[in-house]
Amino acid sequence: MATVITVRAPFAFLRRLASARLHRHCCSTVQTACFVSQPHSYSLIAGQQHRFFHTSYVAARPILQFKLSDIGEGIMEVTVKEWYVKEGDKVSQFDSICEVQSDKASVTITSRYDGIIRKLYHDVDSIALVGKPLIDIETDTGQVEGPQEDVVETPAMSQEEHTHQEIKGHKTQATPAVRRLAMENNIKLSEVIGTGKDGRILKEDILNFSARQSGAILPPAPFQEIRPPPPAAVAPSAPAAKPKEKMSPPSIPTPVIPKPVFTGKDHTEPIKGFQKAMVKTMSAALKIPHFGYKDEVDLSQLVRLRSELKGLAESRGVKLSYMPFFIKAASLGLLHFPIFNSSLDENCTNITYKAAHNIGLAMDTSQGLLVPNVKNVQMLSVFEIAVELNRLQTLGMAGQLGTTDLTGGTFTLSNIGSIGGTYAKPVILPPEVAIGALGKIQVLPRFNHKGEVVKAHIMNVSWSADHRIIDGATMCRFSNLWRSYLENPASMVLDLK
């Protein structure tokens, strides 16, 4: 009889072996006992050593719930507008997951893991709540080290550039905490070189950049929030461009008017997105006692000035409209009448005079009424305002205005003349205290200083103001000053900065 010696194996293994009745597979008592051993279990038969089968187990990859993190601005719910992934897709860090729309802006949520999409929790146009799952993603075990912040990409680039941006085809990537640190120190993310994965900007990159700039982290400066991009310049060595090669201004997509379809049935749909924001804002506006003031402005000299500057602006790739002049004239007026650039607290006990002139422009878009604003107009030239307006108009037509563009306004102008209106009764946008509606420019007969009938370019303006802190006389003086700048554009040169 051959001698059978078994090296000590784990007790759990022996118990499983007995319960599985593996003795049925053993040979007779005079033959070698055969069985599958666990790793490091050996059988010695007749003095010979044999290593049997090695059994291994593959650990399942964890599936994590990717939750919608806090987007900010008190937003608690968003509407899922578009999915960029589907179940079974493989994604990497910072890949776009979906686009969501709040009542303030549209943002794109990006992945913080490498993995495979296993479940989508929402359909298109459904409501997603902050803190609730968006997707399930199967990840590598090594990635699950602890809670991380979701990366939120705002497709609409603001000139503060504290969110993800497209800069010459390169996407700047950073978490909300890093963006916040950059914003607090007035640092453009586009100027920082990221040392993280795929060029991701880390906290250390911001601190190092700040140290190189000043040796220490600077406190935020109120008038350095934005810096307009420099105009496109032609290199000295480049040959003179032909007229047909001249850079054309950015084109604004023409809205397509859908063919009306008569269904013959009533239908009900929820109020959401920007429309929901308008309901909330206008309900608050009804608490403000409005009063109106109307006047007409002779823009004949401004029309001639713009025609002279239009070609120069287009050579720099910028479309120059009348709106930059209207906005700059309003900012000059706000310097003399700061009460129009203020806000009143809920108890009507304190007035806050705003240092920055963040002048909003009401826009009619496919998503409804949006009011982005040009930041720090008091620090910008007319051309720089035109650059920013071109950007806002392009993003507005594409539905990609960001939260930064749509918040922080201090004074608003609404250009109803772009649609064809003449007069209006504009509603103040809280917490602002005044708003102006600009009518279309009409060629009408007027008398000159000699009593002669001449052709004049006339525009009507309609103002609304908060009568709790602004009286009619102050409104009239502000309007007269604003009108004088536009009727004699050369007078603005003395006060331009």
- Active-site positions read 467, 471
Nearest alpha carbon to residue 141 among 60, 58, 57:
60
Q: Which residue in 66, 65, 49 sits closest to 6, CA to CA?
A: 49
Q: Please give the Cα distance from 497 to 482 (Å, whole number).
A: 17
Q: Both tokens of residue 451?
A: 């009593």
CA angle 121, 123, 127 (to 5 degrees): 80
Q: Give exposure, 414-451, as e/b (b: 16+ Cβ within 10 Å).
A: bbbbbeebbebebbbbbbbbbbbbbbebeeeeeeeeee
- DSSP designation for 338: G
**Residue length, the chain?**
497
The tokens for 210 are 């700040």
> Where would I find the H helices in 228-299?
273-285
User: What 3-state class would DSSP assign to 316?
Assistant: coil
d(CA 122, CA 79): 9
> Residue 137 in contact with residue 63, Cβ under 8 Å?
yes
**Sequence-ordered list of residues with C-beta below 8 angstroms from that of 447, at least 6 positions apart, any chain:** 453, 454
Q: Position 409: which residue type?
A: G
